[in-house]
Amino acid sequence: MSIDDRQLKELIVESQDLQADALRDTRKSLPDLRDIGRARRGRPVDQDKVRAFNADRRALIRRGGLGLGGVAAAGLLGTSFGGAIASIVAKPASAQEDVDVQILQTAVSLELLAIATYGAALGLPFIADGNATVKTFAETTMMQHDEHQMAFNAQAEALGGERQTETNPKYTPVVEEMKPSLTDPAKVVELAATLEQVATQTYVNNIAMFEDTRSKEIMASVMGVEAQHLATLRAVGALLAGGAPQLITVDPPVDVAALPAAAGSVAFPEPFEGTENASPPEEGAVS
Amino acid sequence: MSERFQQQSDENESLLARLAGGRLSRRNLLIGSGAASLALVAAACGDDDDEPASSGSSTTERETTSTTEAEGNAAGDLAVAQTAAGLEVLAVGTYGAALEAAQSGALGEVPPAVAEYVTTAQAHHQAHLDAWNGVITGAGEAEVTEPPADLKATVDEQFAGVTDVAGAAELALLLEQTAADTYLAVIPTLEGTDAIKLASTIQPIDMQHAAVLRYVLGQYPVPNVFANTDNAYSG
C-alpha cells in the first residue's frame, strides 16, 4: 500500500484542528462530567447537570466536528485519534449511562423486595389457605415481578452495568419490621399496596430521566402493570375493610350488583399518578 | 361503608408517611402538582434540553441548528399532545353518553359501583383533557375539542349496539386500553421532560381503569406481565 504524503499531511492538519475544536468545546462540559462521576455511588444525581452535559454532547455531534460523520468525512475514522473520538461520541456520556443503570438497578431492588414480600405472604396460613382469588393474585403478581426484575437486570447489563441482586435498602428494613404485625389479609394487602405504589411512582418519576430509549420502553411497559396491581389491591383492601371478602372473586365472576358504590372509585383515588413516594435513581443502585 | 373506606384510606396515608420518612402527604402534593404540571408541560413545548453551548466559534450556527431541532421536538410533542387530547375528548364523550344511557334506562339496571366508576372515570379523563389542552394552548395552538373522527365512528357504531352494563363495560375497556396503549407508545418518543412526565402520570390511571373494568367483566384484572401497544392509536 502506497502512502500519499500530501494527503497524510492534510489529514494531520485536519486532525489537529479537530482536536483543538474538541478540546475547546468539551472544556465546558468536562467539569460537569467529573461532578456527575463523583455522584455515581450512593449520592443523589443532579439531573440538570446530566441533561446539560448530554445537551453539550449532542450539540457537538450536530456540528459535525466531533460527530462520527465529521470524523469519517475527514478520513480519520481509521486513525487512532479518529477511533478515540469515535468511541467518545458513539454513545451517550458514561455519566448518563450510569444514571440509566442506577435507575434500572433501583427498579430491580424494588421488584426483588416485592417478590420477597409476596413470597412471605404466601407462607402465611391465612393467605395460603385463605381467599382463592387473593392467593392467585399473590402468586401471579410475584411471578410478574420476577419477570420485571429480569427485564430490568438484563437491560442494566446491556448498558454495561452490574446485576442488582439485593432488595431495596430503604424499604427492606421497613418490611422486615412489619412482618410480625401481618396477622390478617388486610394488613398484608395494605403492605403490598404500599410497595406497589412506591414501584409505580418510582417508574413514573424516573422514566423521564432515562437517556436510553430501550430502557424507557421497558420501564413504561412495567409501570402500568404495577399500577394495576395497586388498583387491584386497593379494591381488595376496601372489600376486606368493608366486610365483604366474598366479593373478592374472579372465578366465579363477582356479583357486580352487590358491590358497594365505592368499589367503582376506590382503586384510583386521583386522576394523575403521583410521584411523592418515588425512589431516587441511586437508592437501589449497586454500590 | 364510606367511613370504613375513609379509615382504610387514613391508615394507608399513615403507612405511606412512615415509609416515606415523613414526606408531605400524597393529597397535599397532588393538589400542588396539578396546576404546576400544566405550567411545566406548557413550558416544555417551547423548552429544549439541547440548548446550545454559550461559547465557541460557531455560536450562530449552533443556535440556528438547535432552534430548528427544538422546534422539531416541540412540534413532535405538540402533535402527540393533540392526539392525546383527541382521545381524551372521545373518552369524556363516551362516558357521558353511557351516563345518559344509564339514566334513561337503556342499559337496564345499573349497579351503584358501575355508576360510580363511570362518573369517576369521566372526571379523570376530563382532567387529562384539561392538562393536554393546557399544553396545547400554552404552545399557542387552539385547544382540542373534537375526537379523532375515525375512532369516534367506530365507537359510535359499537355504542349503538350496547344494550346492557356488560356491553358498556366492554366498550369502555376498549377505550381505556386504546388510551393506555397509545400513551405507552408515545412515552419513549416524547422529547420534553415534562411532556413525558404528564403522559407517565396518565398512563397508569388508564391501566387502572382497565383493571377494574376487567374485574367487573369477570376477567383477571392484570392479565399481562408487560403492557403492550397492541391497541395504540397513531392518528
pLDDT of A262 reads 97
pLDDT value at B37 more than 80: no
Confidence of residue A287 (pLDDT cuts 50, 70, 90): confident
Confidence of residue B74 (pLDDT cuts 50, 70, 90): confident
Nearest-by-Cβ selection for B5 from A197, A204, A238: A238
Measured between CB atoms, does B225 come within 8 Å of chain A? yes
Mapped onto helix, strand or coil, the DSSP state of residue B5 is helix
pLDDT value at A197 more than 70: yes
pLDDT of B124 reads 98
Residue B193 lies in a domain: yes
Distance between CA A21 and CA B135 in Å, rounded? 39
Higher pLDDT, A36 or B87: B87
Whole-number average pLDDT of chain A: 80
Task: Return the closest-CA partner of residue A47 out of B196, B56, B7, B143.
Answer: B196
Measured between CB atoms, does A5 come within 8 Å of chain B? no
Q: How far is CA B40 from CA A119, B36, B195, B197, B218, in A?
A: 41, 6, 9, 10, 40
CB contact under 8 A, A268 and B209: yes
Per the CB < 8 A criterion, the answer to whether B127 and A272 are in contact is: yes
Residue B139 lies in a domain: yes
B143-171 pLDDT, tens digit each = 999 999 999 999 999 999 999 999 999 99
A37-52 pLDDT, tens digit each = 344 444 445 555 455 5
Which domain, by its residues, includes B206? 27-216
CATH number, residue B135: 1.20.1260.10
CB contact under 8 A, A242 and B211: no
pLDDT, average across residues A241-265: 97
CB contact under 8 A, B23 and A277: yes
Per the CB < 8 A criterion, the answer to whether A187 and A207 are in contact is: no
Please give, rounded to a whole number of angstroms, the shortest distance from the CA of B80 to a CA of chain A. Answer: 16
Mapped onto helix, strand or coil, the DSSP state of residue B145 is coil
Distance between CA A86 and CA A72 in Å, rounded? 9
- The letter for the amino acid at A148 is H
Enter the ipTM.
0.73
Mapped onto helix, strand or coil, the DSSP state of residue A181 is helix
Domains of chain A, by residue range, sit at 5-89, 94-264
pLDDT, average across residues A210-236: 97
pLDDT value at B226 more than 60: yes
- CATH number corresponding to A94-264: 1.20.1260.10
Residues ≥6 apart with Cβ < 8 Å to A228? B207, B208, B210, B211, B221, B222
All three cell numbers of A67: 460527530
Residue B235 lies in a domain: no
Q: What is the pTM of this model?
A: 0.72
Between A and B, how many residue pairs show a Cβ–Cβ distance under 8 A? Answer: 245
Chain A residues 169-188 with CB within 8 Å of chain B: 171, 174
Number of domains in chain B: 1
Per the CB < 8 A criterion, the answer to whether A223 and A207 are in contact is: yes
pLDDT of A34 reads 39
Q: How far is CA B77 from CA A277, B50, B141, B179, in A?
A: 27, 15, 13, 17
Contacts of A51 in chain B (CB under 8 A): 49, 193
Which of B62, B200, B203 should be substituted to probe chain A, the one whose Cβ sees the most A Cβ atoms within 10 Å?
Answer: B200
B96-107 pLDDT, tens digit each = 999 999 999 999
Please give, rounded to a whole number of angstroms, the shortest distance from the CA of A285 to a CA of chain B. Answer: 18
Distance between CA B63 and CA B44 in Å, rounded? 18
pLDDT, average across residues A18-41: 42
